[in-house]
């Protein structure tokens, strides 16, 4: 396991602040005989430090796939599987699979298929809760489309939630990408939507807990 580069500054600042608070607590409480309270606050500081660090963890994962497999781009829980009209790029009917990422999930995002990155667009927006029906169209988000070697295209979106305030992405149109390579990171609670062709086989169901690069969302036909 490693720690994501997007978290270096946040982790450093967070640990400095927690350390400074604990130094103040030490002189405030141990000098006045409230050692038990200092120890309790120390435990709380350790928990906070753990939560900050675990958010930016990137576990090592060994995965395998066939050329037509669509791998899960994010850790989380499947909250939507439905046929929708995609209005930004395809402007037709697609199968939408939505994955909700809680603050406890790994927040690095990975390419679901290999191919040519045809479209990348960042949209500023609102910060509705990630499971709100309008979060896919109204929230801060980034839309990307990969064209598979078969000619079929898969669209996926990073969507900010009520807590998330920054979406990071590292790909550009015209770039050739590989399944399982990292394409971005979302800070704090968020959601990823994947829009698939109607004839795509779906391998997950609503309520499933999924893992990036390990869970197969479906297969291109």
Catalytic residue among 98, 114, 136, 190: 190
Geometric angle at alpha carbon 98, from 96 and 103, rounded to 5°: 165
Q: pLDDT-based confidence at 4, cuts 50/70/90?
A: confident
Where does 56-157 have alpha helices with state H?
135-138
- Give 198-211 pLDDT, tens digit per residue: 999 999 999 999 99
CATH class name, domain 69-219: mainly beta
In 153-204, the DSSP E strands lie at 153-160, 167-169, 176-177, 182-186, 190-196, 201-202
pLDDT higher than 80, residue 125:
no
Asked if 63 and 213 count as a contact pair (C-beta separation under 8 A), the reply is: yes
User: What is the DSSP pairing of strand 57-58 with strand 190-196?
Assistant: unpaired
pLDDT higher than 70, residue 95:
yes
Global pTM exceeds 0.75:
yes
Our answer to whether residue 190 is catalytic in this structure is: yes
- Give 66-78 pLDDT, tens digit per residue: 999 999 999 999 9
Cα–Cα distance measured from residue 207 to residue 201, given in angstroms and rounded to the nearest whole number? 18
Cα–Cα distance measured from residue 170 to residue 144, given in angstroms and rounded to the nearest whole number? 11
Cα–Cα distance measured from residue 125 to residue 122, given in angstroms and rounded to the nearest whole number? 10
């Amino acid at each position: 396991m490693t720690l994501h580069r997007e978290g270096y500054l946040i982790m450093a600042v967070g640990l400095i602040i927690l350390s400074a608070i604990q130094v103040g607590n030490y002189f405030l409480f141990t000098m006045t005989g409230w050692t038990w309270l200092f120890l309790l606050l120390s435990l709380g500081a350790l928990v906070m430090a753990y939560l900050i660090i675990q958010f930016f963890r990137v576990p090592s994962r060994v995965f395998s796939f066939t050329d037509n497999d669509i791998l899960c781009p994010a850790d989380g829980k499947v909250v939507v599987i439905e046929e929708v009209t995609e209005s930004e790029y395809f402007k037709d009917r697609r199968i939408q699979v939505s994955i909700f990422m809680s603050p406890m999930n790994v927040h690095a995002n990975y390419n679901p298929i290999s191919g040519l990155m045809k479209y990348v667009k960042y949209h500023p927006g609102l910060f509705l809760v990630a499971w709100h029906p309008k979060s896919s169209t109204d929230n801060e988000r980034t839309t990307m489309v990969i064209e598979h070697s078969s000619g079929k295209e898969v669209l996926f979106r990073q969507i900010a939630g009520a807590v998330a305030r920054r979406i990071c992405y590292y790909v550009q149109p015209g770039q050739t990408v590989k399944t399982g390579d990292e394409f971005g990171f979302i800070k704090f609670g968020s959601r990823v939507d994947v829009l698939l062709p109607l004839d795509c086989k779906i391998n997950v169901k609503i309520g499933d807990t999924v893992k990036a690069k390990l869970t197969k969302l479906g297969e291109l036909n």
